[in-house]
Amino acid sequence: MHRHHRRLQTSRERDTLIIVPGASITKVMLVDDDEDLRLIGRAALSDIGGWCTLLAEGGEEAIRLAAAERPDVILLDAMMPRIDGPATLGRLREHEATAGIPVIFMTAKAQPEDIERYLGLGAIGVIRKPFDPLGLASEVSRILAEAGGGV
Amino acid sequence: MTEAKGGERDAARARLQAVRARFADRLAARVNELVDVIEAARGGRAELEEAASLAHRLAGTAGSFGYAEAGEHAASVEAALRGVQRGSVEWDALDRALAALRLHTP
């Protein structure tokens, strides 16, 4: 499985060392064919998470945008028309510019065997749809921190 | 994740709430579109796949906007549509699932 090691940002506040998982993320990309889902996803990642959020409506746009913008992490819908999530991940891994970008699948179909398959393809995690917009950014941070060696 | 201060956090939640509120009309429109496509599928079955795709997307999206029950009923409609496609589910069962979705649509 692809492991993406990520620097953790630390800060001192009242003499207490605070470790913020995934704090080095600045830019995330959300790939989903549903326009409304992209809207609520961007609100969750930008307004609540405080990240710059790139949106792509399909696999081809995701591949092009990822190469140009190099997001820190990609949230990828599993089931999309034309190029689906697993095929998109395969294409991202073929290109040097995008091969190392961590990918998290998002899916309404999250049976244990599906999750196992997605992780086997090289995803660092799976987030279930529907998601809680207030908790999405925290979930992404947690998955990244665990993939980076655990916190 | 950036640590938001109290005021910023409240503003962020307000923006999120605004996005959610705007979805209520969208949800009704999307359910109506689904009803129309299912109606069209009664004549020929080519529209069943399109209807299943609409129901699948609605299932993932509605719950994320806070309409959990609508999302669950949309998932039931998708399952019924797949069943009708396979021939293992009757149209009556699909109609019941669709009626339940409409009941939980604002």
CA dist., res. A68 & res. A62, Å (int) = 10
- Residue B104 sits at the chain A interface (C-beta within 8 Å): no
d(CA A13, CA B72): 44
Q: State the pLDDT at residue B13.
A: 86
A20: which strand partners? A9
Q: Is B99 on the interface with A (CB under 8 A)?
A: no
Confidence band of A76 (pLDDT split at 50, 70, 90): very high
- What is the model's pLDDT at position A12? 37
Cα end-to-end span (Å), chain A: 19
Q: Which residue has the higher pLDDT, A46 or A3?
A: A46
> Which ipTM did the prediction report?
0.87
pLDDT at A131 over 60: yes
Query: Mean pLDDT over residues A26-42, rounded?
Result: 96
Which of A36, A114, A126, A138 is the mutation pick for testing B, counting most B CBs within 10 A? A36
pLDDT at A17: 40
- pLDDT tens per residue, range B71-98: 999 999 999 999 999 999 999 999 999 9
Whose structure tokens read 């299932």?
B59
Here the tokens at position B61 are 């999206």
pLDDT tier at A36, thresholds 50, 70, 90? very high
Flag whether residue A49 sits within 8 Å of chain B, measured between CB atoms: yes
Residue of A nearest to B9 (CA): A48
Residue A23 pLDDT more than 60? no
A-B CB pairs within 8 A amount to 80
DSSP assignments along chain A, one per residue? ------PPEEEEETTEEEEETTTT--EEEEE-S-HHHHHHHHIIIIIIT--EEEEESSHHHHHHHHHHH--SEEEEES--SSS-HHHHHHHHHHSTTTTTS-EEEEES---HHHHHHHHHTT-SEEEESS--TTTHHHHHHHHHHHHTT--
**Is residue A138 scored above 60 in pLDDT?**
yes
Per residue in A79-123, pLDDT (tens digit) is: 998 999 999 999 999 999 999 999 999 998 788 999 999 999 999
Burial group, residue B96, by CB count within 10 angstroms (0-12, 13-18, 19+): middle
State residue A20's pLDDT score: 46
Mean pLDDT of B19-43: 93
* pTM for the full predicted model: 0.85
Q: Which of A132, A134, A138 sits opposite B1 (nearest CB)?
A: A138
Which of B65, B103, B50 has the alpha carbon at shortest distance from A41? B65
What residues in B contact A137, CB-CB < 8 Å? 1
> Which of helix, strand or coil describes residue A96?
coil
pLDDT confidence bin for A15, thresholds 50/70/90: very low
Q: What confidence score (pLDDT) does residue B1 get?
A: 57
User: How big, in percent rounded to 5, are the helix, strand and coil portions of chain A?
Assistant: 35, 25, 40
Tell me the nearest-neighbour CA distance from A22 into chain B, angstroms.
6
Per residue in B4-14, pLDDT tens? Answer: 567 878 888 88
- pLDDT of B45 reads 77
All residues of chain B having their beta carbon less than 8 Å from the beta carbon of residue A132 are 64
Chain A partners within 8 Å of B19 (Cβ): 39-40, 43
Q: Do A133 and B64 touch (CB under 8 A)?
A: yes
Q: Does B68 touch chain A (CB under 8 A)?
A: yes
| B28-37 pLDDT per residue, tens | 999 999 999 9
Which of B44, B45, B14, B29 lies closest to B102 in space, CA to CA?
Answer: B29
